[in-house]
Amino acid sequence: MIKSIEKEISLDRRAFIKKVLGGTIAGSLLLVIPAGAMELEHIPEQIPGMRKEIGPFITGKKFAFIVDITRCIGCGSCCVADKNEYQVPDGNYRTWVERYVIDDKDNVYVDSPNGGLDGYQKPRKDLPYPVRDTFFVPKLCNMCEHPSCVQVCPVGATFQTDDGFVLIDDKRCVGCGYCVQACPYSVRFINPKTHTADKCTWCYHRVRKGLLPACVNVCPVQARKFGDLNDHESEVYKILHQPHVVSVLKPDMGNKPSLHYVGLRREVV
Amino acid sequence: MPEYKSKSYSHIIKIVLILIIVAVAGVYVRAKVLPGSFGEFGHYRGDAVKDEINRPLRNGTNASCLVCHPYIREMHLKGVHHTVSCEFCHGPVADHVKDGKVIARLPKKQGRDIKILCLRCHNQIIRARPKESIKMISMPQHLKEKHVRTDHICNQCHNVHAPLMWVKQARAMVGVEEDSK
């Protein structure tokens, strides 16, 4: 009996030493073998087929962005991811989350402390009447089909690519600010570091590498959706082609945004 | 009829010459000033698209983090927080790994900061959140209901990666079926 226990212990000891040794060797190997977290082959493609696109533009895809304001919880993950991705200077926002509060008398109050970057921890206390409803509206570049910002740029620094993205060439931009004024959605700002115009690009560099925009990737409740409208199986196609409360911001401006909102409400501007 | 028409064309030649010189100078200056790839695809610098594509990634995906953190992977993907981004709480992977080497440790929220972080999503008092989507908690009522001290921090009961893991384990150990509230 005792012998068998002793045997067990010695076996255990052997297993223990083996494990410790194995762990140490594996651990030290980890230090030698490069960790490949940022190499693309270790990150699975989130948008299928994008890594095969090597031409100057994406072919055969028409991207759309959908924000579902019935799902948004106002956590601000998207804002944090965006700031991290682009190292946006404090006080400027490529994307932000607005809080809409409607009181009993149907007055509408909108606020966005620090662009929603710190989340919304406290309810508004400065309102005279009881609150009837509250909801969050994330904002970002509308990626218009007829962008007014491109039209007004005097130096050809902002442009629409053949795949439908509106981008900024910060080497050409002279920082005149015409585009900042022309944008009906106020998504543009003059970056205080580069002194050039800056705005959300729907993470064009990530999309071209087959990754979702940073904000879509981090949203914990899938309030932000990004996909290809030419793919009839994609979630965005289904949302836009099936009965849903879907709208765009300021449709009367005629910019034809590619950013759609699910559950958009009359109060939202 | 007196002859008014001048026989001398020198003034016309001068004007034409000046115009040609201005035009040539204009074309030359434009060619010098505009970058080479301007107009390749449209009224913009064609290389600007390449510049944008080559912008370095700073955020990865959860997959890029979990490839090196198998223990966290095990917990994180099984728990209800599997949709929560690693980089939301810990920061972008580019601050952690560069050229395949670990360059710095990412911050881990501690103490009160954890509570602030949790309540960014789970604070019921905001009243703006869809009821079905995630579980809402009002503080400090939640702590009182669970009969713990009101200065407890969320991660004393909840594993941040899999919030119900310890709760479920504790229930299994004690064998108590608590009302799922």
Phi-psi region of A74 (alpha: psi -120 to 50; beta: other; left: phi over 0): left
Task: Calculate how close chain A gets to B72, using CA atoms only, in Å.
Answer: 15
With a cut of 60, say whether residue B41 has pLDDT above it: yes
Domain ranges for chain A, please list them.
1-33, 50-145+199-262
With a cut of 70, say whether residue A145 has pLDDT above it: yes
Mean of the pLDDT values across residues A257-261? Answer: 96
A46, A47, A75: best mutation site toward chain B, by most B Cβ within 10 Å? A75
| Distance between CA atoms of residues A5 and B86, nearest Å | 45
Give A136's contacts in chain B (Cβ within 8 Å).
128
With a cut of 80, say whether residue B1 has pLDDT above it: no
| Distance between CA atoms of residues B112 and B87, nearest Å | 19
Q: Can you give the pLDDT at residue A63?
A: 95
Domain ranges for chain B, please list them.
14-53, 58-106, 109-176
Q: What would the pLDDT profile of B112-159 be if each residue is shown by its tens digit?
A: 899 999 999 998 888 777 766 788 888 888 999 989 998 899 999 999
Over pLDDT 90: what percentage of chain A?
75
Q: Can you give the pLDDT at residue A83?
A: 96
Mean of the pLDDT values across residues A88-103? Answer: 95
Mean of the pLDDT values across residues A20-28? Answer: 58
The fold of A50-145+199-262 is Alpha-Beta Plaits (3.30.70)
Q: Do A74 and B128 touch (CB under 8 A)?
A: yes
Count of CB atoms situated within 10 Å of the CB of B66: 17
Mean pLDDT, chain A, whole residue set: 88
Q: Can you give the pLDDT at residue A14?
A: 63
Q: What would the pLDDT profile of B155-180 be if each residue is shown by its tens digit?
A: 999 999 999 999 899 888 887 665 55
pLDDT level of residue A24 (50, 70, 90 thresholds): low
Mean of the pLDDT values across residues A127-132? Answer: 92
Q: What is the ipTM of this complex?
A: 0.84
Q: Do B84 and A220 touch (CB under 8 A)?
A: yes
The length of chain B, given as a count of residues: 181
Over pLDDT 90: what percentage of chain B?
56
Q: Which residues pair with A100 in a beta bridge?
A: A110, A135
With a cut of 50, say whether residue A234 has pLDDT above it: yes
The fold of B58-106 is Helix Hairpins (1.10.287)
Give me the amino acid identity at A256: K
Torsion of CA A22, A28, A31, A32, to 10 degrees: -100
CA distances from residue B57 to A25, A243, B180 in whole angstroms, order as listed: 32, 37, 42
Q: Do A221 and B133 touch (CB under 8 A)?
A: yes
Give me the amino acid identity at A18: K
3-state secondary structure at position A90: coil
Q: Do B68 and A167 touch (CB under 8 A)?
A: no
With a cut of 60, say whether residue B66 has pLDDT above it: yes
Q: Can you give the pLDDT at residue A41?
A: 74
Q: Residue A50 has which token pair?
A: 């994008």
Mean of the pLDDT values across residues B11-28? Answer: 95
Give B43's contacts in chain A (Cβ within 8 Å).
156, 159
* Residue A34 or A216, more confident: A216
pLDDT level of residue A33 (50, 70, 90 thresholds): very low
Q: Which residues pair with B101 in a beta bridge?
A: B98
Residue with tokens 């996909």: A227
Q: Can you give the pLDDT at residue A29?
A: 46
Q: What would the pLDDT profile of A154-170 be if each residue is shown by its tens digit?
A: 999 999 999 999 999 99
Mean of the pLDDT values across residues A38-60? Answer: 85
With a cut of 80, say whether residue A152 has pLDDT above it: yes
Widest pairwise Cα distance in chain B? 126
Closest-approach residue (CA) in chain A for B91 = A84
Q: Can you give the pLDDT at residue A32?
A: 43
Mean of the pLDDT values across residues B34-48? Answer: 90
With a cut of 50, say whether residue A88 has pLDDT above it: yes
